[in-house]
Amino acid sequence: MKSIEAMGMNVSGLDNVVISSSKVLVNGRALEHESQGNAMLTEIYRSHVADWPKFFKMDTLSKVGFLATELLLKERDEARMGSEEFASDRAIVLFGTTASLCADRNYQATIQSASDYYPSPALFVYTLPNIVTGEIAIRCHYRGETQFLVVENFDSHQMAFHVQCALQDSVTKSVLVGWVDSTGNDDFECFMTLVDRNEAACADTLAEQMEGIMNNLK
């Protein structure tokens, strides 16, 4: 399996984007970049997105989730960029273990000492991990369900179960599913994929596919 991935093939069966601190893979194909960590995110943004200045205001968790979504939708050639149409039939359901910890630490530093006390609303807002789902919803004009679920450990079966739960909503037809974690401004991992009702019909299959995508992060 490793050798197939090295050749740049998508073995999961689901379109996916994988981002770690040192690599970006779109359906298994590595994107070229010279920098690492947060600088790499900016580099990839400039070369592949470039038209969403809000990116620069985002915290690391949001940058990673936003970029992964952009690259995924671009790969699928979905006609939603620049569209004024809003849609409610796509949910965004993201998972992670560290949630907003990175933003939490950055914000805590601004209130820790009385002599250096300068709490900032721009930092505080990102201490909610679901902000990344909002950033994606704004960009993509998605008015459907948005959720951030925090787990103790990566568990593809637990994730698949909650993706199926999201599809119980009568309006939801597809789910943008992601794993997003950030422990430092230069330290993050993420995968993003998209599933419809058929693709999520069997929880075990979906779990296996997400397990495969997660392996690309290693």
Nearer to other proteins, 137 or 214 (CB): 137
Of 35-94, binders to other proteins (CB under 8 A) are 86, 88, 92
Count of CA atoms in the C-beta half-sphere (13 A) of 32: 1
State the nearest-atom distance from the C-beta of 6 to other proteins, in Å.
Answer: 32
Work out whether 138 is an interface residue with other proteins (CB under 8 A): yes
Q: Which of 2, 79, 168, 198 binds other proteins (CB under 8 A)?
A: 168
For residues 109 and 127, the answer to whether their CB atoms sit within 8 Å is no
Closer to other proteins by Cβ: residue 8 or 119: 119
Tokens of 100: 């907003």
Q: Is 95 helix (H, G, I), strand (E, B) or coil?
A: strand
Q: Which residues contact 45 (CB under 8 A, 6 or more apart)?
A: 52, 55, 63, 67
Q: How many residues bind other proteins (CB under 8 A)?
A: 56
Q: Does 151 bind other proteins (CB under 8 A)?
A: yes
Q: Return d(Cα 175, Cα 94) in angstroms, integer.
A: 10
Sign of CA dihedral 91, 20, 10, 210: negative
The residue from 53, 79, 82, 117 that contacts other proteins (CB under 8 A) is 117
202 binds other proteins (CB under 8 A): no
Q: How far is the CB of 149 from other proteins (least distance, A)?
A: 6
Tell how strand 29-30 and strand 24-26 pair up: antiparallel
Tokens of 198: 């058929």
- Give the C-alpha separation, 139 to 58, whole Å: 13
Residues lying near other proteins in the complex (CB under 8 A) are found at 86, 88, 92, 97-99, 101, 104-105, 107-108, 111-114, 117, 119-121, 124-125, 127-131, 133-135, 137-138, 140-153, 155, 158, 161-162, 164-166, 168-171
